[in-house]
Every structure is written in C-alpha cells, then in structure tokens.
Amino acid sequence: MTSSSGREMTSRAVVRGLVQEYGAVRALDDVSFALGEGITALIGANGAGKSTLLTAVAGGRRPTAGSVEVAGHDVYGRRTRRPALRRVALVPQLPRFPSNLTAREVVAYLAWMRGLPSGRAGQAADDALERVGLEARRSSKLGSLSGGMLRRVALAQALAGEVDVLLLDEPSTGLDPHQRRSMVDLLQTLPGTVLISSHVMEDVADLAERIIALHEGLVRFDGTPSALADRAPAGTTEHRRLEAGFLSVCLEGRAA
C-alpha cells in the first residue's frame, strides 16, 4: 500500500482496511493510509469517526477488521502489542489524571510505564514539562491546574515517552487565543510523526503538511492542504477555501 504522499517506505504508522462497528453502526469503513514524518491533520464533522480512528491507532480498541502497525509492530498482535504501544501515544481531548498527584509524578510515571528506565523517567518528565511551558508548575497538584494546563500535561506525558507516533485529539479545544498560539508553536517543533484530529481549520492551515478527511467513516480526501483548497467552489474567499474544499468533498461523497 502506498499513501497519496508516497511515503510508506518510511512510514511510522500504517493502517490497512480498518473497520470499526458498534452494533449496526459502522463508524469506520475500510480506512487505509500510511504516515511518515511530519504533521498530518485528520478532519471531519462530529461523528465522522476521528476519535474512533485515533483510539484504534493508539491500541485502545481492537477494530472489527483490518490492522494497525506502529514502528513495524502490529498494534493488536499477541507478541507485538507491547513494543507497538511503547512507540505511540494519544493525547485525548479531555485528559483525566489523579488530582492528588503532581504534574511531574504523572509524567514520570507514564514515561516509566512506556518502558523508560526509572532513572531516566524523572529527567524526561522535567524536560517535557519545560517544553510545554510548565516547568514552574511541575510540583503542583493536578487538581490545582487549569484545563489548558492539563492539556499541556497530557502533551508532556506523550513527549516524555519518546514515542515515534504522536496522536492528538482536538489539541486546541478549550484554549484561549494565547494558549492556542503557544500550542501551535510547540507542535510545529515536534519531530517524528504527528496525527492531529481537529475541526478548527485555522489549526489545520497552521500545522498540516497533509490532510485526511473523514466523512461518515470513509476517507473522502487524502492530500495536501492546497489540493483540498482547490476543491472549493469558484469565488470562495481565500480564508475560507480550505473549509469550503472540505465541505465540497463531503457533498461529493453523499452524491456518490
């Protein structure tokens, strides 16, 4: 299998024929793609299957059919699951942590759970908290932190784990404009493979080198932001072309 960007030979994550059913509802329908280095945006309306797909790639729910590989390991294979899960991290839209632990304790513990030696986990936690701008709050109990700070703690735990594939579900939701700008600036510096689920086209335009558009569980588009913008109707204003291109793709899918 080759992605639209032709990067499977250097892929960090490969999704093949993924199907996810909940009773009579098919949330994902034969989804396939490969991710190399760089930032890819996963876009779609609410209910399109974005969170379901991220959860499947992260190893959180076995798909009805299909396969997921991370760093060459089958995420749901009996013998390969553990090494696969060490190489992928999901930052959920609404992270939940024990409120009585400090930011450093949570980040260091989760880094250790991913396989970092205990001696390295603490330093990795300090480095990650500094990267997300929380070095001054590393000893703060999580119950005392704002929602925006908790989102950054969630990102820090992923960074500390030194993963190959980072998955972020709506990373700017709930952030004020200053916090959002800081988050975007940080994400632009991340190495490796990053898949961001978002419905905020401003985030997509700022960050993505590639866009995968989901609609009703199907991949309706996989390509560059400029190629998606080119799908916008004639006369669309420049700042709305990306959104209009996405809407056009969805309408084409319904017509088909």
Q: How far is CA 240 from CA 110, 147, 178, in A?
A: 40, 29, 22
Domain boundaries, the chain: 93-162
Confidence of residue 253 (pLDDT cuts 50, 70, 90): low
How many CB atoms sit inside 10 A of residue 251's CB? 12
Stated pTM of the model:
0.88
Measure the CA–CA gap between 90 and 166, rounded to whole angstroms.
6
154-182 residue pLDDT tens: 999 999 988 899 999 988 877 788 888 88
Gyration radius from the chain CA atoms = 18
Confidence of residue 9 (pLDDT cuts 50, 70, 90): very low
HEC string for the chain:
CCCCCCCHHHCCEEEEEEEEEECCEEEEEEEEEEECCEEEEEECCCCCCHHHHHHHHCCCCCCCEEEEEECCEECCCCCCHHHHHCCEEEECCCCCCCCCCEHHHHHHHHHHHCCCCHHHHHHHHHHHHHHCCCHHHCCCEHHHCCHHHHHHHHHHHHHHCCCCEEEEECCCCCCCHHHHHHHHHHHCCCCCEEEEECCCHHHHHHHCCEEEEEECCEEEEEECHHHHHCCCCCCCCHHHHHHHHHHHHHHHHHHC
What pLDDT is recorded for position 254?
59
Which carries the bigger pLDDT value, residue 23 or residue 94? 23
Beta-carbon-side half-sphere exposure of residue 133 (alpha carbons within 13 Å): 15
Q: What is the average pLDDT score of the chain?
A: 90
What pLDDT is recorded for position 204?
92
What pLDDT is recorded for position 5?
42
What pLDDT is recorded for position 103?
96
